[in-house]
Amino acid sequence: MAWEGKLEKINDYQFLIPKSHNSGMRVDGIIYADDKLISDIKKDNALQQVANVASLPGIVNYSLAMPDAHWGYGFCIGGVAATDPEKGGVISPGGVGFDINCGVRMLKTNLTIKDLAGKISKIADLLYQNVPSGLGSKGNIKLSFRQEQRLITEGAAWLVKSGMGVKQDLECCEENGAIEGADPDSVSERAYERGRRQIGTLGSGNHFVEVCVIDEVFDDKAADKLGMELGQIAIMIHSGSRGFGYQICDDYTRSMAKALLKYGINVPDRQLACAPINSPEARSYIGAMRAAANYAWANRHALMHLVRESFAAIFVVNWQSLGMELVYDVAHNIAKFEKYVVDGKEKELCIHRKGATRALGPGNINLPDRYKDMGQPVIIPGDMGRASYLLLGTKKAEQQTFGSTCHGAGRLKSRHNAVKTLNIETINRDLKSKGIEIRAAGRKTILEEAPQAYKDISDVIGVVSGSGISSKILRTKPLCVIKG
């Protein structure tokens, strides 16, 4: 449904939905976009969802949307909202999403584009063979019930203890690869069942493994500190909590609907079902959500292990010799308790990020020592035919967006519309002309994830960079992509 409500341009990168748009709005809505992107965002229901989120009890400052915003469940994808527990603030599963802690990690290597000459097709084939992908895919890691409970408590660290990766990997993950407070008892039997065989699997939809080359550097000092340079090969892994997280969201969206009646909360959309943060319902959801977040960090860690093994097999050396070190791992769909200054006073708030990336600035106490003086690495993938970016978080993001930025290019066409309107031969020909190798389970996945189905990532990056909520380090271009 196209937006026909109030919308005011604040500056080149911000638009305002005034709270006078709707009597239920407690705060204004702010959308980070330029003139081109806002015209696309207005075409679906995303702006109405921004206005709806502004009605949540205890919401602080603004209901926010990033430039990759598009329609989602409850919150728009690209939505950010902070609620204050001391003022009746709530937590909403719709503000996190079904794929809890869907996120992306980036590895660097000491390989260059010349080292991959004549090998890209072989690398694509081996990755596709070694990385289980597609709907319902199952991995080679078989967990007992007790092992699964340990994994959702310890996250990626449990796999490091099992011999996958090294301790340094954990230092380069948001929350060190495991957020405290996961509650195995708040997870349903069905969620355990769905997650038991899916660790180390890519899944379906927009999830991917991408081998890429750095083709432009914007910040030489930051790139040098990261050990990254022009022509260097990097790898991105994008996946989440699979059926485990989906089931948790499904379980709790139903229970939260009952909480609306219990606590007398009125929301304009039932998909915003929520509960007061200090309530038993919220505490139970938070414990289960954190369990799913830890599952996702472990899943991406296992996928990284498979990627490292694949490259080691291709080049007949161990992964350490290839310099396959983790740069960083960020979450996209999560609610976290973080401290920000509101009206001159530091407060702990519940930050919902739905299709949005944390972007902490230099000096933040939550960053590992290696990134303290530069800010948090922010990985923003584009689509399988265009560029992706590595950026840094900023102090301005902490001041304006609760330390948040975008998470990708954002869909331009729905999956259904992409399948209906795009031509597979044209897509394959275009990708081949760019030298990009694609491996996917079927025709439908390629159509759904075609570059034409997404906004141009350079437009999105232009907004977060121009507005100062992220700072560009470098850009990469895809060489081969394994799609879910």
Enzyme catalytic residues? 407
Taking residue 422's Cβ as centre, other Cβ atoms within 10 Å add up to 17
Question: How many C-beta atoms lie closer than 10 Å to residue 374's C-beta?
Answer: 20
What Å distances lie between residue 217 and 86, 107, 330, 436, 474, CA to CA? Answer: 44, 17, 21, 21, 4
What are the two backbone dihedrals, phi and then psi, of residue 86, each rounded to the nearest 5 degrees?
-75, -10
Pairing outcome for strands 28-32 and 59-70? parallel
Contact call for residues 177 and 298 (beta carbons, < 8 A):
yes
Secondary structure E strands in 103-172? 103-112
Which of 42, 51, 38 minimizes the C-alpha distance to 10?
A: 38
Rg, C-alpha atoms of the chain: 21
Sign of the CA dihedral 410, 455, 202, 472? negative
| Cα 234 from Cα 213, distance rounded (Å) | 6
**Residue whose structure tokens are 């432009």:** 216
Q: For 115-224, list the strands marked E by DSSP.
A: 208-217
Residue 238 CB contacts under 8 Å (≥ 6 apart), including other chains: 102, 103, 104, 206, 207, 208, 209, 210, 381
Q: What is the DSSP letter of 76?
A: P
Tokens of 416: 């259904």
Within 13 Å of residue 273, how many CA atoms lie on the same side as its CB?
21
Distance CA 257, CA 346 (A): 32
